[in-house]
Structure 1
Amino acid sequence: MAVLPLRILRSGRLVAVTASLRLMCFCALALWAAWTPLGQAGGMNDFRDSQVIHSYEEMAVRTVLDYGQVPLWTPWTCGGLYALGSPQTRFASPPFLLSLLVGARRAEPVLLFLFLVVGMEGFFRYARLRSGSALGAFVTAPLFALNGLVAMSWMQGWINFFGFLLLPWCLLGTALVCRRRPGGLVLLAGAFAVMLGFGGTYPVPMSALFVVLEAAGGLLAQRSWTQRSRVAGWLGAAALFTLGASAFRLWPLLETMQSAPRIMAGQPGTSLAGLASTLLGSVRQWDSPFFLAPPILLLAAASVFSRRALLPGVAALLCAWLATGYHFKASLFEALRALPFFETLRYPERFAFFLAFFLAVLGATGLGVLWRRARRSRLAAWGAVVMCWAALVGMGLARQGFDATARRTGIVPEPERVEQPFAQARGNRWSLGYFVALNRGSIACGEAYPVPMSEALRGDLPQEESLEDPSAGTARRAFWSPNRLEWDVHAAHPTFLRINQNWHPGWKSSVGEVVSREGLLSVSLPAGEHHVTLRFLPRSGIGGALVSLLTWVSLGFVVLGSYRQRSLALWKVGGLAAGPLIAWALLAVFWREPSAPPVLTNPNGTPLLVEALPPEARPVRATFGVPVELHGALVPEGPDANGLLSFELFWKVTGNVPRPVGVFVHLVHEHGRMSSVDHEVLGGTYFFKNAPRGPLLRDAFTVSAPTLAPGTWKLLVGLWNTRQGNRISARDTGGLVSDGRVLAGTFTVPPP
């Protein structure tokens, strides 16, 4: 009786360890899962996020094929922006070659297929290393790859989220580095570089957390301090190589974050029951956002008998804690957001994807436990067979949920392309695909960060460039392309050539000097006849590419050196790793380029920082239990012609303020009815904790009057701890009403 189950298990293991057979199985499963998306190839996803994210790829393809240029700048969105520095662009990665070959829209379902295969193979290799079981890693790999997040990413056009499937390659590279194998350096640096170039602003920092955990586990596994010091040296070199390999994208992103900081507020949270539901679905519904087939729990349960389950078990618990966000008073996610680069993370439930990954690793480990006992126990042998069948059932459930999600994708015919000269239009950020096809730029911006946009941008100009002083002469467009612009200019006296695009310090001119005029790209020209050529040559993009190229050359020397010598000296590896970073520092110091300071404005366009209270504002002068003062408020007498009530509060920060401190705003009607306009971020830019000391902070917000009952209303404001829910005391104010609320003014809403 024990022979039959062992034959079944050995046959499965033979397929798992034979690379060609294993990849054939993975390709078949990926084709099965991606069948519906492949049938949707060539159509346009009309979901609003897809309109924005996909259009970046379309713009990049157009830049390369139509103009023969590297897609560094895109004029088609937000009035023109630095494409390589935009977090959501994904052309700076190898999959872009497929977009160039078959078209951006036809490439997307093929990319889904390829990423599924790459994800399964990566999981197999990492899980086999971690669990010691080729069979366990083989049967659980599809459960990881067919996660509901991947299907949701296809449905909503978040193609850059396919980068999450590179997580196992990052961890595998780290594990190999801990074994001092040069191949691990290449895997780790390459996986992060591809992930970042593919628009991985979420996959990269979130994966980095578990790379650190894997590295810590590798260090603790060493038996002596000498071994640990060597491994630590290799890990340090790996970090340097990874930074260098990612410089081509990391430098532009850092530049963008500096000039346009992305602020995320709110305290999202999910209960454990809600997390289990979104992960495991329900009896009749298997298309939840992070679906992992429930049979994986059976396999994972068997791993409790193995010490190999310690690291993935700890990682799974941390993922569950992070995924609950702010639900519990002790929030690990809150602590994470206090770290640099992690303060922009939102949607903590996305850590459920990592929880699914480590549960799948535990499942592989559990099947490995049964496999090792199968030779001695008939019960264990049949148990392993049952577990394999459970995994196969899980694959069917996962594919069914995957396909159900993919079928909800809203596919419409691809818009026909119209050949005409480029011009800016008022635009619509949720229909951006149509504007790209018309060769029109959309001033309406749908980016996930506050793009520095000029208020002087126009969508109705007869021509996109003109002299600031029309009497100075004429400017005729001679050539137009995304990264290079040319004009023939006749100027009777010195003047400015203004282009209807946003200014960026990366633009360089053959004549005169590139300057910002009201945020518009402009050139200061002397008098005379000029052929003016503008080229976009950003230091961060070109310099970052040079650093990354140097990094890969250094990695090549490490790999070649390891073939010639059995053990490569650590000082050589460290020196080769540090070289590109030194070159990066030298480029940053000696390649001068003007910086783009952040544009600090409220959503209504008013400046965020003011030196004194405007004369039309009402002085208040209130102090609170934290070093914050309210100096005044601007409260309208009633709504404007559009039915809007625009309020402004003037705050001053005098010391260190805890991160959770926010503003509560109560609109109280004369008959007691109340409405709230609470917010944590001042003017959409600063938390009190990060706000500058000294100047007044103008905090502007708007309320729609039709949502309020007619009558007289009071504007009561105060501070509260958004984490604990308690108000912060107010004092030394003549206008104090009660419970820490300060009277900022009154207004009247007329009858409709």
Structure 2
Amino acid sequence: MTLAGFYYSYLWRGQNWRPLFSFSGQVYGFHEYGAYLGILALAMILYATWKFFSKDYPLILTGWLCFLLALGNFHLLSPWNLLHSLPVFRSTRVPYRYSILFIFMAAIICGRAIHLLSRQKRYARYVWILTFLLALDILTVSVPILWKAFPRPLQAKEVSSPFCQIWDKNPNRSGCYSSMYLNSLKNQGTLNDYDPLPNTCHAIPKGRWDYQGEVFSLPTPSQGKVKYLYWSPNRLLVQVPKGFQGLVIVNQNTRKGWQVIGGKKTSWKGLLAARIQKETSGQIEFIYSPLAFWWGLWISLISILGTGILLWQQKKKSPSL
């Protein structure tokens, strides 16, 4: 990011009337770069950095490191270039997203700085004015942008029942990426959706010559057919004809974390499937419950509990700044 880019991102008040402005020399649009702070907030950040650095240097150093990362490829040895040489991180594309962490740090230390000033008699009377001016400056720039965030009114769409996978070829919506939400309102899955991960799509879109339905079986039952009783992104309930023995196949990619109740999980040409025995036929249930979800849930609960305990302990003590 150049000095001009820094100005347009953090200090340019014109963001409020031109929300789709593309910064000169940048690849992406306003939504990736715009994060207005203003001169007053920037001054408060510098003051708070100087005031609290000796005590909160881990937080402050992390925040300013994220700021340097957000500047992108400004030098051969820039933090962004060094980070980009590591596995996993080399797949990231927009350095400016690290500014979110910088602003998070800035908000914390600025709040502490305002609280510190409010406890000093000679500055206390001016703190309310300072806080009001900070809020007014930021809100008058940021709020009007949200007014223009969704310019197109929501239109009622004919709902596809049951759910089906499609390949979006509509050229009137700036490509399939912008129509993902509209398709989801119609109860349709977009196979050519926006996905930066290198996933191979095994699902078959409706209308293609080899499309056999959203759920089908091999071999075909002599009586009846398999069909959805319930569909959601993480739970599928499928009716199976009695006496059927074979594969029940779901028209979506298989993945670790899927569990089958009433059959044995397997895959067929990359699709989610279950092997059914006669004694277990009737209906089967697919449930997506990955181990990563449970790890994340427990980590979140422990973190919330630990934070609550720390806050409760600090409440007993007088606040120190």
CA contact (8 A) 1:275 1:349 kept: no
**Alignment counterpart, residue 52 of structure 2, candidates 308, 313, 323:** 308
The alpha-carbon distance between structure 1 residues 521 and 473, as it changes in their structure 2 partners (threshold 3 A), is farther
Structure 2: give runs of 5+ residues left out of the alignment.
20-32, 169-175, 317-321
SS in 1 for 2:193: coil
SS at match of 1:475: coil
Counterpart residue number, 1:468:
218
Partner of 1:330: 77
Could you say which residue in structure 2 is the equivalent of 1:411? 152
Cα offsets for 1:620-668 (capped at 9, x unmatched): xxxxxxxxxxxxxxxxxxxxxxxxxxxxxxxxxxxxxxxxxxxxxxxxx
Aligned-pair CA distance for 1:290: 0.9
* Residue 522 to residue 309, structure 1, CA distance change in 2 (3 Å): closer
Query: Would the alpha carbon gap of residues 403 and 472 (structure 1) be closer, same or farther in structure 2, given more than 3 Å must change?
Result: same
Question: Secondary structure of 1:459's partner?
Answer: coil
Residue of structure 2 equivalent to 1:479: 229
CA deviations over 1:699-726 (Å, ceiling 9, x no partner) = xxxxxxxxxxxxxxxxxxxxxxxxxxxx
2 CA distance for matches of 1:559 and 1:521?
44
Partner of 1:534: 285
Give TM-score, length-normalised by structure 1.
0.32
Return the match for 2:193 from 445, 455, 462: 445
1:130 aligned partner: none
Q: Which amino acid aligns with 2:217?
A: L
Aligned to 2:319: none
Report the 3-state secondary structure (helix = DSSP H, G, I; strand = E; otherwise coil) of the residue aligned with 1:295: helix
Matched, 1:277 2:24: no
Instruction: Give the SS at the match of 2:68.
Output: helix
Q: How far apart are 1:500 and its partner, in Å?
A: 2.0
- CA offset digits 1:118-162 (Å, max 9, x no partner): xxxxxxxxxxxxxxxxxxxxxxxxxxxxxxxxxxxxxxxxxxxxx
Distance 1:509 1:489, change over 3 A: farther
Shift of 1:508: 3.6
Alignment of 1:291-306 (within 5 A): 291-300=36-45
Partner SS for 1:291: coil
Change (3 A) 1:533 1:328: same
Whole-Å Cα distance in 1 between the matches of residues 198 and 116 of structure 2? 52
Query: C-alpha separation between the residues in 2 aligned to 1:458 and 1:500?
Result: 9
Q: 2:39 aligns to what SS in structure 1?
A: coil
Residue 339 of structure 1 and its aligned partner are, at CA, apart by: 5.1
Please tell me whether the aligned partners of residues 291 and 398 of structure 1 are also in contact (alpha carbons under 8 angstroms): yes
Structure-1 separation of matches of 2:9 and 2:183: 36
SS of alignment partner, residue 411 of structure 1: coil
Give the match for residue 498 of structure 1: 249
Correspondence 1:337-348 to 2 at 5 A: 337-338=84-85, 342-348=89-95
Pairing 1:220-299 to 2, within 5 Å after superposition: 270-281=1-12, 284-285=14-15, 289-299=34-44
- 3-state DSSP class of the match of 1:294? helix
Contact kept? 1:425, 1:442, Cα under 8 Å:
yes
Cα separation, 1, equivalents of 2:95 and 2:219: 52
Alpha-carbon deviations, 1:575-633, whole Å to 9, x = none?
A: xxxxxxxxxxxxxxxxxxxxxxxxxxxxxxxxxxxxxxxxxxxxxxxxxxxxxxxxxxx
Q: Which has the larger Rg?
A: 1
Alpha-carbon distance change, 419 to 363 in structure 1, aligned in 2, over 3 angstroms: closer
Counterparts of 2:100 and 2:301, CA distance in 1: 34
Q: State yes or no: 1:422 paired with 2:153.
A: no
CA drift at 1:472: 6.5
Residues in 2 aligned to 1:373 and 1:511: alpha-carbon distance in whole angstroms: 69
Displacement of 1:547 in angstroms is 4.0
Q: Distance in 1 between matches of 2:8 and 2:39?
A: 11
Counterpart Cα distance in 2 of 1:371 and 1:433: 47
What is residue 392 of structure 1 aligned with on the other side?
132
Q: Note the C-alpha offset of 1:405.
A: 1.2
Partner of 1:214: none
2:225–2:240 CA contact under 8 A, matched in 1:
yes
The CA deviation at 1:439 is 2.4
- Distance across 1 between alignment mates of 2:84 and 2:108: 27
Runs (5+) with no aligned partner, structure 1: 1-269, 376-380, 567-752
Tell me the CA shift for residue 414 of structure 1: 4.5
In the TM superposition, 1:164-243 aligns within 5 A as none
CA contact (8 A) 2:8 2:34 kept: no
Counterpart mapping for 1:89-104 below 5 A: none
Q: CA deviation at 1:325?
A: 1.6
Q: What letter matches 2:144 in structure 1?
A: A
State the alpha-carbon separation in 2 of the partners of residues 337 and 495 from structure 1.
48
Matching residue's letter, 2:67: A
Displacement of 1:530 in angstroms is: 2.9
Q: 1:408 offset after TM fit, Å? A: 2.1
Q: Which residue of 2 aligns with 1:489?
A: 241
| TM-score, normalised by the number of residues in structure 2 | 0.66
Q: In the alignment, is the contact (CA less than 8 A) between 1:478 and 1:488 conserved in 2?
A: no
1:434 to 182, 193, 213: 182
CA deviation map 1:381-414 (0-9, x unaligned): 59x83x8645533433322211331132223124
Amino acid in structure 1 at the alignment position of 2:145: T
**Structure 2 counterpart of 1:422, one-letter code:** F
